[in-house]
A and B are shown apart, each in its own frame.
Chain A
Amino acid sequence: MNRRVALVICFGFGVVMFAQYFSQHPLARGVNQAVLEYWQIIFAFALLLGVVSFFQNNVRQIRHGSDRPYRIVSLIGLLAMPVVAVIGRIGAGSPFLWIFENVQAPMQSTVFALLAFFVASASFRGFRARSVPAAILLGAAILILLSRSAIGGPLSGWLPDAADWIRHQPSMAARRAILIGIGLGSLTTSLRVIVGIERTWLGGGK
C-alpha cells in the first residue's frame, strides 16, 4: 500500500512537472516555484538524516573498537563545528571561518593534490603503446600535454593548432556520441521511474 501511494505521487508529480515545462502561464510557474521550494526543504531534512545516521554509526563502531581513532576525530569534528558556529558566529574573523580556511580547505586541497601524484603514477603504469590505436592515443595525449603547457607555442607553431584539432574534432565527436548515449539512458530511466516500471528508488523489489 505504501509503495503504491509513493508510485502514484511519483507519477503525478512527474506528469505535472513535465507539463509545466511547456507553459508560461502564471499557474504553471507558480506550481514550478512551489515544488522547487519544497524540494529544498526536503533536502534539508535529508541532510539531518545523514548527520544522525553518521553519528549513530560511528558511536556503534567506536564501541566495537573498529577504526576508533578515525571515528573519534570524525565525531569531534561533527560536534565541535556547530558549537563553534553558534558561540562565535560564522562571519568574517570568526573561529568557525578560521577553522574552515585553515583546516578544512587545506585538507581538501591536499586530497585534491593527490590527483597530480596519481596521474603521474597512472601514466607511468598504464599509458603503454600496446597496439596501434594505443600508440595513436599516446601521441595525442603528448600533443595535448605540450599544448597546455607554456612551451607548447614556442616549441612549434603547429602544435597548439594540432592539439586544438584533436580536441575539437575526433575527441569532441567521441564525447558527443557518449553524451547522446548517456542522455538517452537518462531519458529512458527517468521515464521508467515516472511510470513506475523502475522501482529501485523505493528500495528494490517488484
Chain B
Amino acid sequence: MNRVVSRHWIFLGLFVLVALAMGSGIRLDTPVSDRTAELYDFIESLPEGSVLLVSFDHEASSLPEIRPIGQALLRHAFRKNHRLIGMALLAEGTAIGYRLMQQAAAEYGKEYGKDYAYLGFKPQYIAAILSMGESIPATFPKDYLGRPYESLKALDGVATYADVAGVLSIADGSLTTHWMEYGRARYGVRVVSGVTAAMVTTYDPYLASGQMYAMMGGLRGAAEYEDLIARPGGGKRGMLAQTATHLYVIVLIGLGNLSYFLARRKKETS
C-alpha cells in the first residue's frame, strides 16, 4: 500500500513540475556541444544546391521531441538552398515528415517539385535501403503525391546514393543503424542523424568509429541547433521542463537512497 501511494505522489510531482515549467515560458541558454556543431558544419559546408535524402524514421509517439529536431535541421537545409528528398521508413512518419517539410519549405519560399520532393513510405526498411542503393527511381516510381519520379525537377540526376551528399535520418529508434549497416557499409553513402535523447548513447560507438558522420540528439540538441541557426523553437521551449525533470529525478534518487540507508541502519541497530 505504501509503495502505491509513493508512486502516485511521484507521478503527481512530476506532472506539476513539467506543467509549471512549460507554462512559465522561460527559455534557458544551452552552450553548443561539439557533436551538434559537427552536424551543423556538415550541412553548412555542403555546396549550395546539394542533394540531401531526409528519412523520417520515427513514429507519431515521439513527435514532441522529433518536431523541434526535424524543424531545426530542415530550416537549416532550406536556408542553404539544398535540394531535399524526403521519405519515410515507418508508416507513421510518412504524413508527419511530409507536413514538417511542407511547413519548413513554406518559411523559405521553397517550391514542391523544384526545391524539394517527398517520396513517401516504403515498407520493409532493410529492403528499401538496399533497393535504393540499386535505384531510387525503381524503388519509388512515384512520389507521395502520385507524380512520376521523372517529372520532378528536384529529383533530376538522382538515381542512387552516389548522387546524394548524404542521408539525414531523423529517428526515434534503431532504424539509423540499418542506414549505416546497409546504406553506408554497402553503398558508401554518408549518414548523419537527428535522434531522440534515448538513442544518443546507442549511436555513440558508430559516431566514434566514423560509420556515422555526425549526430544531434534530443531536445537539448535541438535547442543547441536552434541557437546555431538563430531560430528559437520547440527545443529551447522545452529545456526548462527537461532540466527541472532531471533535477527532480536526482532528488528522487537521493530520497530513495536516504530511505534505504535509514532503513538499513534501523535494521542493523535492532
Contacts and interface: CB of A to CB of B under 8 A. Distances in A.
Given A108-B60, A123-B252, A153-B31, A128 B260 contact: yes
B162 interface: no
Interface stretch (B47-55, B70-78, B163-171, B242-250): B242-250
Interface in A147-171: 148-151, 153, 160, 167-168, 171
| 9 closest residue pairs by CB, A with B | A108-B61, A105-B60, A150-B28, A112-B61, A149-B243, A36-B127, A149-B246, A124-B252, A124-B256
Contacts of B92: 104-105, 108
Contacts of A29: 134
Interface in B93-139: 95-96, 99, 122-124, 127-128, 130-131, 134-135, 138
Interface string B195-218: 001000100110010000000001
Contacts of A189: none
Given A105-B63, A112-B61, A128 B204 contact: no
A116 interface: yes
Interface of B: 3, 6-7, 10-11, 14-15, 18, 28-31, 33, 59-64, 92, 95-96, 99, 122-124, 127-128, 130-131, 134-135, 138, 145, 186, 197, 201, 204-205, 208, 218, 220, 223, 239-240, 242-243, 245-250, 252-253, 255-257, 260
Given A148-B220, A175-B204, A116 B138 contact: no
A145 B30 contact: no
A104 to B, nearest CB: 6
A118 to B, nearest CB: 9
A43 B252 CA distance: 45
A79 interface: no
Contacts, number: 143
B127 A120 contact: no
Nearest to A39: B127
Contacts of B95: 97, 100-101
Contacts of A138: 253, 257
Contacts of B62: 109, 112
Contacts of B3: 125
Interface string A30-71: 001100110110011000000000000000000000000000
Given A40-B122, A175-B201, A120 B14 contact: yes
B61 to A, nearest CB: 4
A130 B261 CA distance: 9
Given A128-B260, A167-B201, 12 more contacts: A33-B138, A37-B127, A40-B128, A108-B61, A121-B10, A125-B256, A145-B250, A146-B246, A150-B28, A150-B223, A153-B30, A171-B204
B11 A117 contact: yes
Contacts of B30: 150, 153
A129 interface: yes
B197 to A, nearest CB: 7
A192 interface: no
B199 to A, nearest CB: 13
Interface in A89-124: 91-92, 97, 100-101, 104-105, 108-109, 111-113, 116-117, 119-121, 123-124
A81 to B, nearest CB: 12
A121 B6 CA distance: 9
Contact of B204 (A97, A130, A168): A168
Contact of B239 (A32, A33, A150, A172): A150
10 contacts: A36-B127, A105-B63, A116-B14, A120-B249, A124-B6, A130-B260, A145-B246, A168-B204, A171-B201, A179-B205
Contacts of B246: 145-146, 148-149
Contacts of B255: 124
